[in-house]
A and B are shown apart, each in its own frame.
Chain A
Amino acid sequence: MADVAYSARVGTVEAATGGDVADYFALLKPRVMFLVVFTALVGLVAAPGSMHPVLAIASLICIAAGAGASGALNMWYDADIDAAMARTAARPVPRGLVSPEEARSFGTVLAIGSVLCLGLMANWLAAALLAFTIAFYIFVYTMWLKRTTPQNIVIGGAAGAFPPMIGWAAAGGGISLDSVVLFLIIFVWTPPHFWALALLRTRDYAKAGIPMLPVVAGPDATRLQILIYSLILAPLGMVPAIIGLGGTLYMIVASILGSLFVVMAFDCYSERQGEAADRAAKNLFAYSVLYLFLLFAVLLVEQGFGIDGSTLPSLWAL
């Protein structure tokens, strides 16, 4: 599949020179990798017990490499649809700068290396979770669900939700209710996040033949689904405070951020025509990234620096 897109571009001057280092780095999907590393860091810091800083950094490098491997393997397999979509047409494989075979080999070596290194540097449970995540993203999401069902990113979203569990396991926390809750937050966050983007790229997805929800069920049904998932996400985001993983500060921030998420999802649900609809979807997409980042950042601050709501009055008094 990828060969078709690649061969269509081979012969250009760019393709003849091959990719440079930046093109191989782009195969790793750096922005996705950042979010993966960040959520894994939160899992690692929030887990009970302590981990030597060197081993923690080494574990995060392994998790980043594993996420990058998933990106490279995804770009190998999806080169044909990447070439058909404006958002992804400039990626190294559809441009012919990196051959599909190179992307596949690069991803495979990184995947195996990252799993083995995580096993050696942290523990084999974390390594097994990382291996499962990479395999799930490639075999279940990329190769199977993405091209066959509008539920692709609902189920496939599990792959993006595993990093905090991997970080938690790497720190020796095993698999616990706390890490499963962190997984669930990202799992439920993923559909409204991607569907907001899909609303803006419906024609692109239709052209590439990907059965995203707005393509198959229409934009109105998608807006309703976004609202439903947001209504589940807002209270779910507060659960860490209820089970003791987050403190008072987390509860306050999660309540405000969750309420804002629902407000923006409702705006996206009610604005259905023209520029106002596009703007509402764009705002929700941008806010969803900020929401997840802030939610996990507060957990990181609370767990990493021992600051929660109970210490806030004394901080304000300073």
Chain B
Amino acid sequence: MQDAEKERQRRQRMRSVAIAWILAALVVLFFIVTIVRLGGSVAVRPL
């Protein structure tokens, strides 16, 4: 029974880690897509 509980916790932890990685990847993807959609000249503006 204890083994099953340990295994359940291990799988829960793995799922949480996977969700964290996916969210991080989405943040990076959205950042890159935003830069691409804005275009290269977005940083060129008068101060």
Complex: A21 Cα to B15 Cα, angstroms: 6
Given contacts A21-B14, A21-B15, contact A16 B36 (CB under 8 A): no
Interface segment among A54-62, A186-194, A236-244, A271-279: the answer is A54-62
Complex interface bits, B4-22 against A, C-beta within 8 A gives 1, otherwise 0:
1001100110110010000
CA distance A58 to B26 in the complex (A): 10
User: Chain A, 17-44, contact with B by CB distance < 8 Å: what is the 0/1 string?
Assistant: 1111100100000000000000000000
**Total number of B residues with any Cβ neighbor in A under 8 Å:** 13
Main secondary structure of the interface of A (DSSP, over half): helix
CB distance from B27 to the nearest CB of A (A): 13
- Distance (whole angstroms) from the CB of A258 to the closest CB of chain B: 39
Query: Can you list, as one digit per residue, whether each of B23-38 has a CB less than 8 Å from chain A (1) or not (0)?
Result: 0000001001100110
Compute how far the CA of A58 lies from the CA of B30 in the bound complex, rounded to whole angstroms. Answer: 9
Residue from A13, A24, A54, A121 in contact with B15 in the complex, judged by beta carbons closer than 8 Å? A24
User: Nearest Cβ in chain A — how far from B23, in angstroms?
Assistant: 11
Q: Which residues of A contact B14 (CB under 8 A)?
A: 20-21
The answer to whether A17 touches B36 (Cβ under 8 A) is no
Q: Are B33 and A54 in contact (CB under 8 A)?
A: yes
Contact between B7 and A21, CB atoms less than 8 A apart? no
Residues of A contacting B7 in the complex (Cβ-Cβ under 8 angstroms):
17
Contact A55 B33, beta carbon cutoff 8 Å: yes
Would B8 and A55 count as touching, CB distance under 8 A? no
CA of A151 to CA of B39, assembled, Å = 48
A54 touches B36 (CB 8 A): yes
- The distance from the CB of B37 to the nearest CB of chain A, in whole angstroms, is 7
The interface of chain A, by Cβ under 8 A from chain B, is: 13, 16-21, 24, 52, 54-55, 58, 61, 120-121
Known A21-B14, A55-B33; 20 more pairs at CB < 8 Å: A13-B4, A16-B4, A16-B8, A17-B8, A17-B11, A18-B8, A18-B11, A18-B15, A19-B15, A20-B14, A21-B15, A21-B18, A24-B15, A24-B18, A54-B36, A55-B37, A58-B29, A58-B33, A61-B29, A121-B33
